[in-house]
Amino acid sequence: MDNKKDNGYYVKKIVNDLNFIIKHTNNLTISDLVENEVLVDSVMFRLIQVSENSDKLTDDFKIRHNTIPWRAVKGMRNRIVHEYGNVDMSVVYDTVKNDIPNLLLELKEIADKNIGS
């Protein structure tokens, strides 16, 4: 069983979470999202997971892929975790619609190159 937890492993986990977010929010308005409590919780959880897995990437990896806004990824997680009951859903929605697709494209390119470290 090959469960080597290297940068490639964590990038794949992040890509999986981003794909989930896009799949389940595609064509939704902010009202559609906000009205679906289960989906809001799922999206928030996935955003937290993206950050948690990005924290496990090596510093060298993050430096080599410095076009990815690693601090913003962590910042979104902190907003969700520390202000869960008061998260501005317009910020989450904007992130989901405008930032996540670009982040996914960049990380898919990295994953396709099969970068392990």
Other CB atoms within 10 A of residue 110 CB? 19
User: Tokens representing 3?
Assistant: 């469960």
Type of residue found at 13: K
pLDDT at 6: 92
pLDDT at 56: 97
The length of the chain, given as a count of residues: 117
The separation between the first and the last C-alpha atoms of the chain, rounded to the nearest angstrom, is: 19
Q: Which residues of the chain have pLDDT under 50?
A: 1, 116-117
* Distance from chain centroid for Cα 72: 10
What CA–CA distance (Å, rounded) separates 96 from 101? 8
Type of residue found at 17: D
Domain boundaries, the chain: 7-112
Q: What is the pTM of this model?
A: 0.89
pLDDT at 117: 46
pLDDT at 116: 47
